[in-house]
Structure 1
């Protein structure tokens, strides 16, 4: 069973972020240093296009911006090293604008362009579910850094570079067991992700001897989540949504003087979540892949991750929450991992044929020191992440601001 949260997606927008419209083809080519020259098995074939479908406008635009930035940094690195078989990479962007119809339209445009050899997105599980059939029918390699649920093992051309929610729940249950926590509840929206989380907890909590106390479904018009907390007041831990709704749950828990642990999946890492929750997030734990930016000692960071993050900082800067003051790089390395995997697979296959590419991606074994995310890429099952790749992090704050501590159980 394969299940997040983009991974990591937060529903609350980060305020005061303004980005101009997407660059034109010529401007993007110049920005990436594309020349069309080079030598190699693909030299003279023209540019190789990689598509990105993501929300570039609206409340979720931060997701698209971060994905674009990381993809550009990784494409520049590859182009400076000679491209793919001597051909340069070019990024083509379509704005899904939180509209499933636009996401499907963009997917159809991408498969209709013979120069597009891989597509990243559309992000968000519902949008990908509406588009993945188009990719499968048209043999289009695609990589998903913002799709938390669903089974990628049944797809031929689809791969996921995000940590899916099911393994995050599995890892969190391991952690709760290590802390002798006997019960857990869920407060989450009544959407596809919430229903998937409910299913994962029903599966994994008993596996670790933990009683699952049920799923409290929130509503967009809820003034308070106190009634949900009151129903779960005896739970040793409560898992929450990774957006403003989760922050509302934390506020209700604080009001009720709830003494248990507040927990979540990888979306709790986001600045937008901390802006919504603020100091209520102190002590909250979340399951995520390699996440070292808020670990202050950079000497402990994995080499590829540090190189990528510092390139993002230099070129694009940081996102800073206007309310929390929390910071994160203005990029998301799991999107760059898609480009890393595509380039490695193409060089392995010496081909851009979609069947050969998909087979080559599935056979990759890229060590964690060589990837933008700091996570090894071994997607034989079409998943970049597996449960042993997941950490448990805890949010803390001191006079110097927010930081995280890796509290993953060693057993």
Structure 2
């Protein structure tokens, strides 16, 4: 994906190759019987690394990623693995510490049995590790990195909807609803500044006036002054955490009648716990997240199978205040494993250069992926603006639910 205004990293040189082993005819015959693919991975196990916070206040992120990755690995292993070899997961705790994240990346890059690394989550942590991946030819997949340009990378792929396309999807929705102006209330951090740039670039493209960025502070007791400055906006975009809940509260106090919107973070039950009933009628852009759509018949079959397995094995997360629920897994992390396995099987090797090239040629339909999203990473992005949905939060006597309000759906 090319951006005209906002760009990030420059291209990096690739380094040493990870070599796949050889096998005898007898071994190949055994692997064909086990995996049905007719080739031998040359290894007793194909290891995949995960670097994510497993302890501390953000441990839930790592746990959700681990659960979904393990469920998808189990599915592939039951079908015979990759080239007859079973997948194994190696987990490293970043503890939300950039030093630990980089240390873990260096460790896993140096292990030739680790064929792909998922993480480290968070853009700043990944930015500190991606040079190591590129220089050492280590395939990596990122379900927790929202910013940056992956099209300049050789070995890095993203299985998250980038913030940029989330903002563009919202602009499309606003235009369909006749919204002619938008404002942003957000923390003055990297994410806030990035979203400010995205809106400034994209809003005019859709005939929408950008009324500016109101930068919040951690010690704000109320966001009413920020909302009052944007009271004429047809839509206000908010942060995906407690700060965004404060904005929604201020909008309610001010009698704001426009659209309150955000990107994919608004799907989390923690946001609903903070925002409460003020989140009713708010909308968010996200890849397929059908769990809170009550008509299960509308769920994508691969997504439904993955989520059902997650719920059966690990359960659900329930907001203690809101009572809203979400599965205890994140299927976009499982998509990393799906894509890696499909690429390796297509080229019948574990050579990272060949797998990286094969991944750019994938086109896996949304009916066959754990996330229910089409995987087509020609530009190293799994998902694109046409894959995103707009969901609206609603609540009735049975609790919280979402409705797909994507224009044209």
Provide the TM-score with structure 1 as the length reference: 0.90
> In 1, distance between residues paired with 2:2 and 2:107?
28
Q: Is the aligned partner of 1:153 residue 2:178? A: no
Q: Which residue of 2 aligns with 1:401?
A: 399
* CA contact 2:287–2:389 (8 Å) conserved in 1: yes
> In 1, distance between residues paired with 2:42 and 2:350?
14
Q: How does 1:123-138 map to 2 (within 5 A)?
A: 123-138=121-136
SS at match of 1:336: helix
Unaligned stretches of 5+ residues in structure 1: 4-35
Q: Which residue of 1 aligns with 2:343?
A: 345
Q: 1:98 offset after TM fit, Å?
A: 1.0
Larger radius of gyration: 2
Deviations 1:134-188 (A, max 9, x none): 1111111000101111100001001001111111111111110111111000111
> In 1, distance between residues paired with 2:373 and 2:397?
31
Q: How does 1:9-408 map to 2 (within 5 A)?
A: 38=34, 40-42=38-40, 45-408=43-406
* CA contact 1:254–1:280 (8 Å) conserved in 2: yes
> In 2, distance between residues paired with 1:136 and 1:204?
31
Q: 1:231 offset after TM fit, Å?
A: 1.2
Q: 1:79 offset after TM fit, Å?
A: 0.5
> In 2, distance between residues paired with 1:304 and 1:236?
37
Deviations 1:196-251 (A, max 9, x none): 10111011100011000111111212221111111111111100111111111111
Q: 1:44 offset after TM fit, Å?
A: 5.1
- Residue-pair matches, total: 379
> In 2, distance between residues paired with 1:185 and 1:55?
33
Q: 1:346 offset after TM fit, Å?
A: 0.5
Deviations 1:226-280 (A, max 9, x none): 1111111111110011111111111111111111110000110011111111111
SS at match of 2:367: helix
> In 2, distance between residues paired with 1:131 and 1:251?
38
> In 1, distance between residues paired with 2:130 and 2:253?
43
* CA contact 1:2–1:152 (8 Å) conserved in 2: no
Deviations 1:7-64 (A, max 9, x none): xxxxxxxxxxxxxxxxxxxxxxxxxxxxx99464235512111000111111111111
Deviations 1:358-408 (A, max 9, x none): 001111011111000001111000001111101111000000011001111
> In 2, distance between residues paired with 1:352 and 1:112?
16
After TM superposition, the runs of 4+ consecutive aligned structure 1 residues lying more than 3 A away are 36-40
Q: 1:125 offset after TM fit, Å?
A: 0.9
Question: Cα RMSD (Å) of the superposition?
Answer: 1.4
> In 1, distance between residues paired with 2:122 and 2:2?
15
Unaligned stretches of 5+ residues in structure 2: 4-30
* CA contact 1:160–1:383 (8 Å) conserved in 2: yes
